[in-house]
């Protein structure tokens, strides 16, 4: 039986060079979506003066309380939405030389499509949505993203972005905000770490939350208060869990 053609001849968008000093070199032409993502991220890095800050949050009680299909990222999205409504400057952006803020917290959730692309469906009105409804919306848009059935309304109106590194991802990282927003929050993987409670050091599930913010809109005083509020909501999850 002859070998399949695609194992003999590389696709037209792939170039393979043998015998280089780095071994076999494989060069691929990026897709239009990958090219657009690269261009937009480069534009943000080149044109937006950003700063970053990280805070750690004890999510032991929260992880124990979560049930059903609700995941940690859903609780973080709701806590973020509540904090955005309370901290107007963080829920804003620099537009045409003006400070623009919004009253509704619409969170763009970064979905990595197996490394081939990244899409940003929106969790609308995350500051007032019940946790179960927010979780259902998140699962729906993630499924659509992987099926390739997202439509423009699914990604409309973002005021902020949440980037989840995943349970197998890094403990902490900083991310690049999408164009049109003033900040984003990177969620590190939950890890068991030593944590001080009263006079004792005990093992707890802890996450690192890293804010990347446009300094033209959001100053460290704004961003610091916002981060502290998100951490407080996760550490005492009564408000986050309440319908």
φ, ψ for residue 183, nearest 5 deg: -165, 165
Is residue 189 a contact partner of residue 169, using CB atoms and an 8 Å limit? yes
- Report the number of distinct structural domains present in the chain: 2
Q: Are residues 158 and 234 in the same domain?
A: yes
Is residue 80 a contact partner of residue 162, using CB atoms and an 8 Å limit? yes
Q: Coil, strand or helix: which one is 165?
A: coil
Q: Tell me whether residue 2 is in a domain.
A: no
Q: Are residues 167 and 113 in the same domain?
A: yes
* pLDDT by position in tens, the chain (length 243): 444 444 455 566 777 777 677 788 888 888 888 888 888 889 888 899 999 999 999 999 999 999 999 999 999 999 999 999 999 999 999 999 999 999 999 999 999 998 778 999 999 999 999 999 999 999 999 999 999 999 999 999 999 999 999 989 999 999 999 989 999 999 999 999 999 999 999 999 999 999 999 999 999 999 999 999 999 999 999 999 987
Q: Are residues 133 and 234 in the same domain?
A: yes
The two three-digit tokens of residue 69, written as one number: 């299909």
Question: For the chain, how big is the Rg over CA atoms in Å?
Answer: 20
Look at residues 169, 162, 164, 165 and name the one whose alpha carbon lies nearest to residue 183. 162
Predicted TM-score (pTM) of this structure: 0.88
Locate the DSSP E strands across the chain.
14-20, 23-28, 50-58, 92-95, 98-101, 107-109, 111-112, 118-119, 122-123, 160-164, 183-187, 191-197, 200-214
Q: Coil, strand or helix: which one is 145?
A: helix
Range of the domain at 40: 12-47
**Distance, first Cα to last Cα, the chain:** 62
Is residue 84 a contact partner of residue 204, using CB atoms and an 8 Å limit? no
The two three-digit tokens of residue 188, written as one number: 């590190």
Q: Are residues 98 and 194 in the same domain?
A: yes
Q: Are residues 205 and 108 in the same domain?
A: yes
């Amino acid at each position: 039986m002859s070998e399949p053609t695609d194992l003999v001849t590389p696709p037209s968008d792939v170039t393979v060079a043998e015998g280089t000093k780095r071994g076999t070199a494989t060069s691929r032409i990026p897709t239009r979506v990958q090219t657009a993502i690269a261009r937009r991220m480069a534009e943000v890095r080149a044109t937006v003066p950003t700063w970053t800050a990280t805070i750690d949050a004890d999510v032991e009680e929260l992880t124990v309380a979560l049930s059903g299909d609700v995941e940690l990222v859903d609780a973080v999205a709701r806590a973020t939405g509540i904090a955005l409504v309370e901290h107007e400057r963080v829920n804003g952006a620099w537009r045409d030389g003006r400070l623009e803020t919004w009253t509704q917290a619409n969170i763009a959730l970064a979905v990595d499509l197996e490394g081939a692309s990244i899409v940003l469906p929106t969790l609308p009105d995350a500051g007032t949505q019940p946790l179960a409804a927010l979780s259902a919306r998140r699962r729906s848009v993630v499924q659509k993203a992987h099926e390739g059935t997202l439509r423009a309304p699914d990604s409309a109106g973002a005021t902020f972005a949440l980037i989840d590194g995943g349970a197998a991802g890094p403990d902490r990282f900083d991310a690049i905000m999408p164009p049109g927003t003033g900040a984003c929050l990177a969620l590190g993987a939950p890890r068991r770490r030593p944590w001080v409670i009263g006079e004792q050091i005990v093992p707890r599930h802890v996450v690192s939350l890293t804010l990347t913010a446009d300094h033209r809109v959001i100053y460290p005083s704004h961003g610091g208060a916002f981060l502290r509020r998100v951490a407080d909501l996760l550490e005492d999850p009564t408000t986050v869990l309440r319908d």
